[in-house]
């Protein structure tokens, strides 16, 4: 088919959901590997049914894969104009607020910290001493601990980050990212980063991508995640682990180390 200058977004409204589900089930039964079953089902239905197109001229972003959250975040960050700082927020005299920044109710930015726009700091969030938040959204009641860096990342509510590096990443609520943890975000060859979805490698189109971490995941001290890794809901990663592949929901992953003690230099 010839490529179109139109894109399908927002919503489909179907007069018969049963007919749609039957068509989708038929496509899945065909055992074709690509993940466009819905699109092929629609193509089949359009051959016999009448559909009406309603044009939309506004902004849009795809939200199919978890890394798409970063594109949507960038869009909303671009809408922050100037500095909006809640009256109940505390900004230490030696903290730096630069560029287009929103800081919510009862947030605290402690001495030596920097928030560099575009950036969003949610209500009740603490940005600790000498930490840095830039080009990121950190939502409500998060703790950005001493010397932590958060760059180009989306961090949902109630996350705790302690003397760590969060780079080009997406955190669901209640993630604990312990001291010394880092999300590696760049391949050695600087190529685009692939993510796995249902066993298939998907090119993210991004040369920088950290980790996608699910709700209530707990990462112990000094965990390193490789570019594009996903960690599932409720997963636990033990101290000092290097995460090279996806971790599923509620899995526990840790390393076993051998300790050698030599007396008298022998």
The verdict on residue 70 lying in a domain is no
The verdict on residue 190 lying in a domain is yes
In our burial notation (b when 16+ CB lie closer than 10 A, e otherwise), range 73-82 reads beeebeebee
Among 31, 60, 89, residue at a domain's last position: 60
CATH number at residue 233: 2.160.10.10
Taking phi over 0 as left and psi of -120 to 50 as alpha, with beta for the rest, 37 belongs to alpha
How many structural domains are present in the chain? 2
What is the structure's pLDDT at 1? 46
pTM (2 d.p.): 0.84
Task: Note whether 139 and 205 are same-domain residues.
Answer: yes
Task: Note whether 92 and 29 are same-domain residues.
Answer: no
What is the structure's pLDDT at 60? 80
Task: Note whether 100 and 191 are same-domain residues.
Answer: yes
Q: State which residues form the domain around 44.
A: 1-60
Per-residue pLDDT tens digits of the chain, which is 266 residues long: 456 666 665 577 777 888 888 888 888 887 666 677 888 888 888 888 888 878 877 788 888 899 999 999 999 999 999 999 999 999 999 999 999 999 999 999 999 999 999 999 999 999 999 999 999 999 999 999 999 999 999 999 999 999 999 999 999 999 999 999 999 999 999 999 999 888 889 999 999 999 999 999 999 999 999 999 999 999 999 999 999 999 999 999 999 989 888 887 66
Given a contact cutoff of 8 angstroms between Cβ atoms, the answer to whether 97 and 82 are in contact is: no
What is the structure's pLDDT at 218? 99
What is the structure's pLDDT at 18? 86
What is the structure's pLDDT at 4? 65
Of 1, 162, 174, 242, which residue is the catalytic one? 162
Task: Note whether 95 and 227 are same-domain residues.
Answer: yes
What is the structure's pLDDT at 8? 64
* Residue 264 phi, psi (nearest 5): 55, 30
The verdict on residue 66 lying in a domain is no
The verdict on residue 206 lying in a domain is yes
What is the structure's pLDDT at 114? 99
37 an active-site residue?
A: no
The verdict on residue 108 lying in a domain is yes
The verdict on residue 84 lying in a domain is yes
Task: Note whether 25 and 88 are same-domain residues.
Answer: no
The verdict on residue 8 lying in a domain is yes
The verdict on residue 258 lying in a domain is no
Task: Note whether 113 and 172 are same-domain residues.
Answer: yes
């Amino acid at each position: 088919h010839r490529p179109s200058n139109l894109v399908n977004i927002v919503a489909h409204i179907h007069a018969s959901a049963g007919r749609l589900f039957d068509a989708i089930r038929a496509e899945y039964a065909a055992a074709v590997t690509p993940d466009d079953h819905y699109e092929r089902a629609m193509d089949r239905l359009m051959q016999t049914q009448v559909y009406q197109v309603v044009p939309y001229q506004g902004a849009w972003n795809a939200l199919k894969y978890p890394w798409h959250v970063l594109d949507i975040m960038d869009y909303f960050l671009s809408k922050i104009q100037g500095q909006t700082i809640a009256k109940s927020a505390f900004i230490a005299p030696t903290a730096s607020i630069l560029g287009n920044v929103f800081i919510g109710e009862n947030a605290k930015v402690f001495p030596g910290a920097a928030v560099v726009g575009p950036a969003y700091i949610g209500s009740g969030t603490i940005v600790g001493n000498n930490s840095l938040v830039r080009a990121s959204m950190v939502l409500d009641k998060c703790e950005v601990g001493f010397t932590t860096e958060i760059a180009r990342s989306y961090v949902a509510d109630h996350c705790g980050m302690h003397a760590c590096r969060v780079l080009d990443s997406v955190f669901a609520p209640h993630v604990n990212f312990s001291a010394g943890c880092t999300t590696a975000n760049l391949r050695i060859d600087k190529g685009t980063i692939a993510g796995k979805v249902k066993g298939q490698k998907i090119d993210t189109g991004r040369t920088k991508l950290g980790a996608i971490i699910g709700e209530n995941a707990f990462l112990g001290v000094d965990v390193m995640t490789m570019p594009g890794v996903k960690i599932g809901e409720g997963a636990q990663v033990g101290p000092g682990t290097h995460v090279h592949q996806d971790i599923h929901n509620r899995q526990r992953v840790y390393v076993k180390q051998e300790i050698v003690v030599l007396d008298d230099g022998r």
